Amino acid sequence: MMRRRVVALATTALTGLLAVGVPQSPAAAADYYAGTRGKSGEALKEALHDIIATHVTTLKYRQVWKALGETDRDPAKPHNVITLYTGASMPWSQHGSGSSMWNRERVWAKSHGDFGIAPGAGTDLHHLRPEKEPINSERSNKDFDDGGPTADTAPGNHTDDDSWEPGDAVKGDVARMIFYMAVRYEGGDGGPDLEVDDATSRDERPRIGRLSALLEWNAEDPPDHFEQNRNEVIFQHYQHNRNPFIDHPEWVDSIFGTARR
């Protein structure tokens, strides 16, 4: 499936983004993932956890506002951010809890693991994205899956009682954020032990689904330049770790596909 971020971004914005180019860093090279060579499945998951959980800088929740202004910057309007589910461009300064503002959308809902806004899972930029407050509220703590009527606040997205289906342009982004969280947070550093399963539920267990849909979304919607650039900014300027599934989306099936087979 071809990505359609052009629906959300003006042609000039897309052109500007492509002109910037993704910075190349040592982390983007093979050396960053040297510990994964020859591994697959659970062994690969463990190796990636060791890599992305080591030498990480954690942010305080109030610092996330500023960081999102850089990670999700609209290349055509540098004082704006691009929201996740609708691709809207909004002034960075227009953040807060009001109905006309954007807020910090936790893609892995904080109630699924009860990690709140504490440094670590609660402030990890790899799953925090700008989104309009009404959309943030309608998605709430729902899992991810296909289906449901059109969301009231977000055309192109669908929702029912316990799940949210984002638009095609960001389905892979959402999937890779969820898979990152499940590898990054294994409970060993005082944080939650997060898992992906093949169910939808709004309970408070440290899990989220639906695995089968997320696997399909990762395959159908590969990383684009915006997502790759975001990964690089987080690594270079903020947390100093990467989402490995943006660099290597094929690793998703190696680690999580076995659970479906």
Amino acid 259: pLDDT: 58
pTM for this model (two decimals): 0.90
Nearby residues of 164 by Cβ (< 8 Å), 6 or more positions away: 139, 142, 143, 144, 145, 148, 151, 157, 158
Amino acid 57: pLDDT: 97
Amino acid 1: pLDDT: 42
Could you identify the residue written with the tokens 């936790």?
Answer: 106
Digit-coded pLDDT (tens) for 192-227: 999 999 999 988 899 999 999 999 999 999 999 999
Digit-coded pLDDT (tens) for 30-72: 789 999 999 999 999 999 999 999 999 999 999 999 999 999 9
